[in-house]
Structure 1
Amino acid sequence: MNQTQIEFRNVSFRYADDQPWVLKDVSFTIRSDQSVAIIGHNGSGKSTIAKLINGLLFPDEGEIIVHGTSVNENTIWDVRKKVGMVFQNPDNQFVGTTVRDDVAFGLENRGIERIDMIQRIDSSLAAVRMKDYLLHEPHRLSGGQKQRVAIAGVLAIRPDVIILDEATAMLDPKGRQEILTTVNEVKQNHPLNLITITHDLNEIISADRVIVMNDGEVWLETKPRDLFTKEEALQSIGLDVPFSAKLANELKRLNIELERTPLDQKELLDALWTYHLKT
């Protein structure tokens, strides 16, 4: 049975009393069976949402419920057992001198037995294809490898929810693709909620649902494929669709209708081939 995992109830937030509101009366729910992308331009409030879910910040108004627990100063440690975060800069998360020590850190803090700890370290590093780097120093890894280790550290504590907060923003295209592949594999093989915070619409194609933020408010909730049909509206709030959707939208304006809006280049090629066979 699908249950609500995360709920925002009329949440408003600002960083200081004399500052503008970063979030304004935001409400949404995320079910336990969903992978959700939260997108928006810089300053739209999307990263603030991530910090509020994990209890790094608290709302000025409204309430946040995580797996049945209201997030507040008295419950943050219980909430953080259920929610893991991977930040934009993995160097800010490393505390161990080796990859193994770093993944072990969160487990030691939770008092996990050594036998269980060893098993979790091995399985989490295997899940992100970093088991061969067990004794490597984290700062000597590539950007993509560092983020994979950061994901392994979160996986090891077995949270109900993993939040990727602009986790690919500092990576080159190769590193970005490594992380997207890793994330998709993790989602397929582990029963957890995945929340992706990003401004890059190329990263949302595997999400079940998208929440679009604009100026601190929920602008739209929809599915990725439906979102990509709204190219002009997205451009008006500082976002743009991937190339495959952009080309499909342009073809539509030329009265060349594909069966559906493609999510990526493979779907675009398949749709063009299907159209060619029909004509």
Structure 2
Amino acid sequence: MREKLIEFRNVSFRYGEEEPWVLKDVSFDIYKNEWVAIIGHNGSGKSTIAKLMNGLLFPQEGEIYINGQVVNQDTIWDIRKEVGMVFQNPDNQFVGTTVQDDVAFGMENRGIPRDEMIRRIDESLTAVGMQDYRLTEPHRLSGGQKQRVAIASVLAISPQVLILDEATAMLDPKGRLEIMSTVSNVQDRNELSLITITHDLREVVQAERVIVMNEGVIWDEAKPREIFAKKDRLREIGLDVPFIATLADELNKSGLRISNEPLNHEELLEDLWTLHSKM
């Protein structure tokens, strides 16, 4: 049985007493070593959820638990040892003059011994393929390289949860693919829980589970294939579906019976090949 790592219990949040509720009585669990994608249109509450997990915000109602510990003002620094975040713009996270200085920063704040710091710098930069850039100034890196360093900086503190809050939004398609490949490998190697908050549907289909937010509440949660099978309903709340899923629909309408809900080119080609072999 999988062990719970993050628990939201009837959480509600708003940014001011006169402001509308951004989250309304939200409850869900995320398990150890699980990859969960949180999606929704702008203003649906998904980024607020990320900030609540890391103690950047606190709920007005309800409780949040990380590894069994309630998130509040007294536990905030312990929580941040468990939860690492990478944001949309990596420049906002850089504080060091070189890549290795930046990766070391979080560990220095936690009083980690120097020998251990050196080991973790090597391991985290190797994990994201940036070991050859350790003496490079961060501003000289490309957008994708900067995000890799930001991820390495989080990995160095050995969190149990890695949150990517629109972390690939500023990258080109190649950069997005490289970062998500890196993140997938990092999760496998480090046994992390991974939470991706994104508009990129190619990222969503890689997750084990998807939480769909709409107007501050959980609209649905299920495996990606089950979520994207509800194409018309997703469009009604302003969300898109993968191109492959739309193409499969059109093929079905033309008389080809695509039995599964393909999520990528490989699955669609396999379905088409199976149909062809039956003709």
Specify the TM-score bucket, using the shorter chain as the normaliser. Answer: over 0.9
How far apart are residue 138 of structure 1 and its match?
A: 0.6
Provide the rounded CA distance (Å) in 1 between the counterparts of 2:257 and 2:190. 38
Amino acid at match of 1:266: E
Partner of 2:145: 145
Provide the rounded CA distance (Å) in 1 between the counterparts of 2:230 and 2:256. 17
Amino acid at match of 1:125: L
Amino acid at match of 1:225: R
Note if contact 1:6-1:65 (Cα within 8 Å) is conserved in structure 2.
Answer: yes
Amino acid at match of 1:42: N
Provide the rounded CA distance (Å) in 2 between the counterparts of 1:53 and 1:89. 19
Quick check: 59-68 or 243-252, which moved more? 243-252
Amino acid at match of 2:209: R
Provide the rounded CA distance (Å) in 2 between the counterparts of 1:144 and 1:73. 34
Matched, 1:229 2:247: no
Note if contact 1:100-1:135 (Cα within 8 Å) is conserved in structure 2.
Answer: yes
Partner of 1:104: 104
The Cα offsets for residues 104-159 of structure 1, whole Å up to 9 and x where unpaired, read as 10111111111111111011111111111111111111101100000000111110
- Alignment identity in percent? 67
How far apart are residue 253 of structure 1 and its match?
A: 3.1
Amino acid at match of 2:9: R
How far apart are residue 270 of structure 1 and its match?
A: 2.0
The Cα offsets for residues 220-270 of structure 1, whole Å up to 9 and x where unpaired, read as 011011112111111111111111111112223334222321121222222
Partner of 1:278: 278
RMSD: 1.1
Note if contact 2:33-2:194 (Cα within 8 Å) is conserved in structure 1.
Answer: no
Matched, 1:7 2:7: yes
Provide the rounded CA distance (Å) in 2 between the counterparts of 1:230 and 1:246. 11
Note if contact 1:46-1:213 (Cα within 8 Å) is conserved in structure 2.
Answer: yes
Provide the rounded CA distance (Å) in 2 between the counterparts of 1:163 and 1:71. 16
Give 1:249-264 correspondences, 5 Å limit.
249-264=249-264
Structure 1: unaligned runs, 5 residues or longer: none
TM-score by length of 1: 0.97
Note if contact 1:39-1:46 (Cα within 8 Å) is conserved in structure 2.
Answer: yes
Matched, 1:238 2:238: yes
Matched, 1:23 2:23: yes
Matched, 1:81 2:77: no
**Superposition misfits of 4+ residues, deviation over 6 angstroms:** none
Partner of 1:203: 203
Q: Report the secondary structure of 1:157's partner residue.
A: coil
Q: Report the secondary structure of 2:188's partner residue.
A: helix
Q: Report the secondary structure of 2:37's partner residue.
A: strand
Partner of 1:179: 179
Give the count of matched residue pairs: 279
Provide the rounded CA distance (Å) in 1 between the counterparts of 2:66 and 2:232. 35
Partner of 1:248: 248
How far apart are residue 178 of structure 1 and its match?
A: 1.4
Partner of 2:95: 95
How far apart are residue 273 of structure 1 and its match?
A: 1.5
Matched, 1:60 2:57: no
Provide the rounded CA distance (Å) in 2 between the counterparts of 1:33 and 1:87. 21
Give 1:131-170 correspondences, 5 Å limit.
131-170=131-170
Provide the rounded CA distance (Å) in 2 between the counterparts of 1:95 and 1:267. 43
Provide the rounded CA distance (Å) in 2 between the counterparts of 1:122 and 1:33. 23
Q: Report the secondary structure of 1:263's partner residue.
A: coil
Amino acid at match of 2:250: E
Matched, 1:33 2:63: no
Provide the rounded CA distance (Å) in 2 between the counterparts of 1:132 and 1:163. 25
Give 1:116-131 correspondences, 5 Å limit.
116-131=116-131
The Cα offsets for residues 53-97 of structure 1, whole Å up to 9 and x where unpaired, read as 000000011111110011011111010010000001000000001
Partner of 1:212: 212
Amino acid at match of 1:215: E
Note if contact 1:42-1:199 (Cα within 8 Å) is conserved in structure 2.
Answer: no
